[in-house]
Amino acid sequence: DTAVSQTPKYLVTQMGNDKSIKCEQNLGHDTMYWYKQDSKKFLKIMFSYNNKELIINETVPNRFSPKSPDKAHLNLHINSLELGDSAVYFCASSQDFRDSSAGELFFGEGSRLTVL
Amino acid sequence: AQTVTQSQPEMSVQEAETVTLSCTYDTSESNYYLFWYKQPPSRQMILVIRQEAYKQQNATENRFSVNFQKAAKSFSLKISDSQLGDTAMYFCAFGDFGNEKLTFGTGTRLTIIP
């Protein structure tokens, strides 16, 4: 059973298009995230949601819009794609950080976005 | 803001040898978590080991152990009896209570040579 699953795993598209990446977790976690990994492998948080509420928005262009219909899902929609958006996007989840056993992130397999 | 520094972009070691990856961090928090994640060529991020800052004892998971020096803000990962399957990018990460995110270092690419 996949704990954090994201689709699609690969996405190739033209500049200017709009695309979405979906993420689902079956771990019962309260918090979900989107991280971006650039070509140099640097991982940087984009957004986090706790129980469907936006908690973190790390100065991401407003072309990126996350949506959390329920606490098990966090989707990422990107408008007007640019070349610099090419990266691997990771979805992750965790228990509430205030829980003493929390802190660990469970990652999806990543979605490689290539903008041509 | 917290920062995490991994000063070794690449390392290589012979199979069965021991290797240590370094990580330092900067924070004003007293209670936090530290993690090592592994990213093999398959791209999946996998937790290797975690350490709670309030615990003095260094965490150990089979061949993986850490040397946590809180005063020095250092958190190195030791891999003993290295195996070919250990070849991967290794990321050190910092997380604190109440700030619901992890901050990652830039990673160390580790290659195990047969």
Q: Looking at residues A104-116, what average pLDDT do you find?
A: 93
- C-alpha A81/C-alpha A40 separation (Å) is 20
Span B43-68, average pLDDT:
92
Q: How confident is the model at residue A52 (pLDDT cuts 50, 70, 90)?
A: confident
CB B104 within 8 A of CB A43: yes
CA distance B10 to A35: 23
Write phi, then psi, for B90 (nearest 5 degrees). Answer: -120, 130
**Cβ contact, residue pair A98, B97, below 8 Å:** yes
Contacts of B98 in chain A (CB under 8 A): 97-98
Residue B97: per-residue pLDDT:
67
Q: Does B91 contact A104 at a Cβ distance shorter than 8 Å?
A: no
pLDDT reading at A97 higher than 90? no
pLDDT, tens digit, 9 for 90 and up, residues B65-111? 999 999 999 999 999 999 999 999 999 999 876 666 789 999 999 99
When pLDDT is averaged across residues A57-72 and rounded to a whole number, the result is 90
The mean pLDDT value of chain A amounts to: 90
Report the residue of A40, A104, A112, A113 to disrupt the B interface, i.e. the one with the largest count of B CBs within 10 Å: A104
Q: How far is B89 from chain A (nearest CA, A)?
A: 9
Decide: helix, strand or coil at residue B85. Answer: helix
Contact B35 A103 (CB under 8 A): yes
Report which secondary-structure segment, H or E, holds B61: strand B60-61
The Cα diameter of chain B in Å comes to: 44
**pLDDT score of A30:** 87
- Token couple for B58: 């260094």
**Integer angstrom CA distances of residue A115 from A23, A58, A75, A92:** 20, 22, 19, 23
